C-alpha cells in the first residue's frame, strides 16, 4: 500500500475553526475520491502542548499531537490563523511557540501554507521574505506594515510562491486545499472532491476575495454617513447592468443633484459612480467567462459593457489580461 501524503495543520488556542476543519475536510474527501489502492492524505492537528484545542467558534477540537512530537516526513504543513478585533481594529494573533516551531520545521516540509491570518505566523518566522503573499483582507495592511520584505496582495483568495502557499480567510482555505489536491492528483480528482463537498465551483487562486459591493464598503471612509439610498442603489445597479447607468440617470433615481449625488456616492462607497458601475459590469463579465460558454459579444452585452472592444479595454486596464486569456485561466 503506498504511503499516504502527510498533512500537519499547526494550530493554537483561539484559532478560527474553519481554518482547521476546512482544509482537513478537503483532504479527507479527496482520499475517499481516490479510493483504496491509491495514496490519500493523512491529516493531523498539532498544537504546542497537544490535547484540547479551543477555537474562536467555541467548539473544542482535539489535537493529534504536540508540535515537538511531529517527526518524519511532512508533505504539507499548514498553519491556521485568528484575528481579534481590538477597539474596532483587526489584530492578527501571532502565537510565539507556533512561530518558533515553524521556523525550524517548515524548511524540511514538502510545501508550506497558511490559512487566513496564519500568514502572519509564516511572516514572523521569516518564511515569506522576498515572496508574494495574501491573507484575510482585514489584516493585509498590517501584514505589509509589519513585514516590508513581503509583497502583500490583499485581493486573491490564495497565492502560491514556489513551495509556499498563502490563503485568505474562511472558505478560501478549502479552495487552496483543492488546488493542492489538483497538484498532487490532477484536476479531475480535485473537481470530484469539490462536487462531493457541494462546493459551488473550484475557484482558482487569482480570483478576488470579495465582490464589488464588499470592496466598495471596505474602501469607504470610516466616517462616511449612512445613506440607505446609496446602498439600495448599489443593489439596483447589480440587477440592471445592461441599462443606462450614467451619473445623470443614477442621480435622478435617488432624487439628488448630480454634484451632491457624486459626492455622497463616493463618501459611501469609496468610488466614483462611473468607476463603481464599470467594476460591477466587469465582475459580471468575469462570472460569465468563468461559468458559461457565451461568446464575447454576448458577455459584453449581458454585463453591460456593450461591445467586445469595451470588454477588452476594461479587462486590460483593471486586470492586465484579455477576456479570452481570463477564460482559459479560470474555466
Banded pLDDT at 222 (limits 50, 70, 90): very low
> How confident is the model at residue 305, as a pLDDT?
95
Per the domain annotation, does 304 fall within a domain? yes
CATH number of the domain bearing residue 192: 3.40.50.880
Q: Is residue 203 part of a domain?
A: no
Taking residues 285-307, report their average pLDDT: 92
Q: pLDDT higher for 193 or 223?
A: 193
Tell me which residue range forms the domain holding 133: 5-196
Higher pLDDT residue, 113 or 235? Answer: 113
Going by pLDDT thresholds of 50, 70 and 90, the confidence category of residue 177 is very high
Q: Is the pLDDT of residue 226 over 70?
A: no
CATH code: domain of residue 283? 1.10.10.60
pLDDT averaged over the chain? 89
**304-320: pLDDT as tens digits:** 999 999 999 998 888 77
For residues 296 and 304, is the Cβ–Cβ distance under 8 A?
no
Given 151, 166, 196, the domain boundary residue is 196
Confidence band for 99, pLDDT divided at 50, 70 and 90? very high
145 and 41 part of one domain: yes
Give the residue, 60 or 88, on which the prediction is more confident.
Answer: 60
Question: Are 219 and 164 members of one domain?
Answer: no
* Co-location of 172 and 274 in the same domain: no
Residue 287 domain flag: yes
Do residue 269 and residue 163 come from a single domain?
Answer: no
Mean pLDDT of 30-38: 91
pLDDT tens column, 144-171: 999 999 999 888 889 999 999 999 988 8
User: Which residue, of 145, 171, 196, is where some domain finishes?
Assistant: 196
Highest mean pLDDT among 21-25, 170-174, 224-228, 271-275: 21-25
pLDDT band at 213 (very low <50, low <70, confident <90, very high): low
Question: Could you tell me if residue 126 is inside a domain?
Answer: yes
Residues 57-62: what's their mean pLDDT?
96
Torsion of CA 134, 138, 141, 144, to 10 degrees: -40
List the grid coordinates of 249: 440617470
Higher pLDDT, 318 or 331: 318
Q: Which three cell numbers stand for residue 273?
A: 459612480
Please state the rounded mean pLDDT for residues 9-30.
97
Q: How many whole angstroms separate alpha carbon 178 and alpha carbon 86?
A: 33
Integer Cα distance of 280 and 231 in angstroms: 14
Does the pLDDT at position 223 exceed 70? no
Q: How many domains, in total, are found in the chain? A: 2
Q: Do both 57 and 181 map to the same domain? A: yes
Same domain, residue pair 51 and 148: yes
- pLDDT beyond 70 at 205: no
135: pLDDT strictly greater than 90: yes
Under the banding of pLDDT at 50, 70 and 90, the label for residue 281 is very high
Q: Which of 59-63, 110-114, 219-223, 277-281 has the lowest mean pLDDT?
A: 219-223
Tell me, what's the pLDDT at 169?
A: 82
The pLDDT value recorded for residue 221 is 45
For the entire predicted model, the pTM comes to 0.69
Residues 234 and 166 in one domain: no
Residues 161, 247 within the same domain: no
Tell me which of 53-67, 223-237, 271-285 is least confident: 223-237
Mean pLDDT value across residues 210-227: 52
Mean pLDDT of 199-205: 56
Tell me how far apart the alpha carbons of residues 42 and 22 are, in angstroms, rounded to a whole number.
15
9 and 99 belong to one structural domain: yes
State whether 59 and 188 are in the same domain.
yes
Amino acid at each position: 500500500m503506498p504511503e499516504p501524503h502527510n498533512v500537519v495543520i499547526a494550530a493554537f488556542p483561539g484559532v478560527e475553526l474553519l481554518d482547521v476543519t476546512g482544509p482537513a475536510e478537503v483532504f479527507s474527501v479527496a482520499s475517499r475520491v481516490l479510493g483504496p489502492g491509491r495514496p490519500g492524505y493523512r491529516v493531523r492537528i498539532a498544537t504546542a502542548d497537544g490535547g484540547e484545542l479551543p477555537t474562536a467558534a467555541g467548539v473544542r477540537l482535539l489535537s493529534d499531537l504536540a508540535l515537538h512530537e511531529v517527526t518524519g516526513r511532512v508533505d504539507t504543513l499548514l498553519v491556521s490563523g485568528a484575528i481579534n478585533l481590538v477597539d474596532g481594529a483587526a489584530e492578527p494573533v501571532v502565537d510565539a511557540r507556533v512561530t518558533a516551531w515553524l521556523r525550524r520545521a517548515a524548511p524540511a516540509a514538502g510545501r508550506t501554507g497558511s490559512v487566513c491570518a496564519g500568514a502572519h505566523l509564516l511572516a514572523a518566522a521569516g518564511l515569506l521574505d522576498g515572496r508574494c503573499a495574501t491573507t484575510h483582507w482585514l489584516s493585509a495592511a498590517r501584514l505589509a506594515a509589519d513585514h516590508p520584505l513581503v509583497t502583500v496582495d490583499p485581493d486573491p483568495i490564495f497565492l502560491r510562491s514556489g513551495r509556499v502557499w498563502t490563503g485568505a480567510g474562511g472558505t478560501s482555505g478549502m479552495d487552496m486545499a483543492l488546488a493542492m489536491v489538483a497538484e498532487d492528483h490532477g484536476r479531475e480528482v480535485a473537481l470530484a472532491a469539490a462536487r462531493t463537498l457541494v462546493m459551488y465551483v473550484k475557484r482558482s487562486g487569482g480570483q478576488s476575495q470579495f465582490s464589488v459591493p464588499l470592496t466598495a464598503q471596505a474602501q469607504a471612509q470610516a466616517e462616511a454617513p449612512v445613506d440607505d439610498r446609496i446602498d439600495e442603489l448599489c443593489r439596483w445597479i447589480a440587477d440592471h447592468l445592461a441599462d443606462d447607468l450614467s451619473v445623470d440617470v443614477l442621480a435622478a433615481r435617488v432624487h439628488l443633484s448630480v454634484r451632491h449625488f457624486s459626492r455622497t456616492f463616493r463618501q459611501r462607497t469609496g468610488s466614483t459612480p462611473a468607476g463603481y458601475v464599470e467594476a460591477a459590469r466587469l465582475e459580471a463579465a468575469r462570472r460569465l467567462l468563468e461559468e458559461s460558454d457565451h461568446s464575447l459579444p454576448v458577455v459584453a452585452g449581458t454585463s453591460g459593457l456593450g461591445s467586445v472592444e469595451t470588454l477588452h479595454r476594461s479587462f486590460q486596464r483593471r486586470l492586465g489580461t484579455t477576456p479570452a486569456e481570463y477564460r482559459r485561466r479560470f474555466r
